[in-house]
Amino acid sequence: MMSAAKLVETKDLGIHFGGLQAVQGVNFSLNQGELRCLIGPNGAGKTTFFRLLTGVHKPSVGSVTINGTPIKDLQTHQIANLGVGIKTQIPSLFDNLTVRENLWLSARKRNARAEADRIADEALETIRLAHAAKSEVAKLAHGQRQWVELGVVIAGHPKLILLDEPAAGMTGHERERTAELIRDINRTCAMIVVEHDMEFIKMIAKTVTVFNRGEVLMEDAVDKVLSDQRVKDVYLGKQTGGVTL
Ligand SMILES: Nc1ncnc2c1ncn2[C@@H]1O[C@H](COP(=O)(O)OP(=O)(O)OP(=O)(O)O)[C@@H](O)[C@H]1O
Ligand SMILES: [Mg+2]
């Protein structure tokens, strides 16, 4: 019997920008439903790796398959249709619409109106902002905005969510809520989470992949990774400022 395909599989994945090897030789795989954290110093290639998974960048070498489908010749919207959702740090919300309207518009892209209503309400519950359904997004606090961004991704019903620094700029309390939210969402959806905040990583991580200079430095259980001398060295060498392991 054939075993189920990995949700994500990359083979010898690499991309260079001119002479700069931003990602190289990456053999990465993610199981269905898995939650993986990705860490590494500034410029390690984490965001570039996400852009290779979503098709924003095409690899210089190697390949990416999503659920067994090679994405080489697919456009970004076709890759999204395979079930890949991403939340970047670039704001994507409609500021003068309400929280629920933003979620509804996202759900409506692939669903009839009644179904979009249901999905929007479900997403509101998931991000725990039902009480703010009618608030204009422009009036929200930073943390709440980020949760709405996450809700917009969830409303697309992805199989995989990529989160690039979801806790950036958040207060301690907001970070804790975000960690809870990620654990909740992971019950039905695989995720790859990039974060610099190691306290946050400890709240959510099981397996952690460490990038350095475009390559995978190590991949192991969170406690092993955070106590590994090589990992400490690459962070110290980069003076990331404020990152403590
Ligand atoms: N479009 C691009 N053109 C040229 N160089 C790029 C481009 N995108 C990224 N790079 C370079 O590739 C390297 C990896 O960048 P990337 O943004 O993936 O790192 P990162 O791990 O996400 O870093 P950070 O933690 O600071 O977000 C960096 O040296 C960056 O300057
Ligand atoms: Mg980045």
Domain for residue 210, yes or no? yes
pLDDT of amino acid 236: 74
What are the two backbone dihedrals, phi and then psi, of residue 220, each rounded to the nearest 5 degrees?
A: -165, 180
- Cβ atoms within 10 Å of 115's Cβ, excluding its own: 12
Amino acid at 16: H
Q: How many domains does the chain have?
A: 1
pLDDT of amino acid 245: 57
DSSP state of 41: S
* Distance from the first to the final alpha carbon of the chain: 43
pLDDT of amino acid 23: 98
Q: How buried is residue 113: exposed, middle or buried, by Cβ count under 10 Å (0-12/13-18/19+)?
A: exposed
CA angle centred on 119, ends 116 and 121, rounded to 5°:
110
Q: Which residues does 23 contact at the CB level (< 8 Å), separation at least 6?
A: 13, 14, 15, 45, 48, 49, 52, 59, 214
Percent helix, strand and coil across the chain, each rounded to 5?
40, 25, 35
pLDDT in tens, the chain (245 residues): 556 789 999 999 999 999 999 999 999 999 999 999 999 999 999 999 999 999 999 999 999 999 999 999 999 999 999 999 999 888 899 999 999 999 999 999 999 999 999 999 999 999 999 999 999 999 999 999 999 999 999 999 999 999 999 999 999 999 999 999 999 999 999 999 999 999 999 999 999 999 999 999 999 999 999 999 999 999 877 645 545 55
Q: Say if CB 97 and CB 105 are below 8 A apart.
A: yes
pLDDT of amino acid 237: 72
| Ligand 1 mutation target, pool 15, 47, 165, most atoms within 8 A of CB | 47
Q: Tokens for 102, please give them.
A: 């933003």
Domain for residue 224, yes or no? yes
Domain for residue 79, yes or no? yes
pLDDT of amino acid 243: 55
Domain for residue 26, yes or no? no
Is the CB of 42 within 6 Å of ligand 1? Answer: yes
Is the CB of 158 within 6 Å of ligand 1? Answer: no
Q: Which domain holds residue 53?
A: 34-58+74-238
State how far the Cα of 72 lies from the Cα of 84, in Å rounded to an integer: 15
CA of 235 to the centre of ligand 1 (A): 16
CATH number of the domain residue 136 falls in? 3.40.50.300
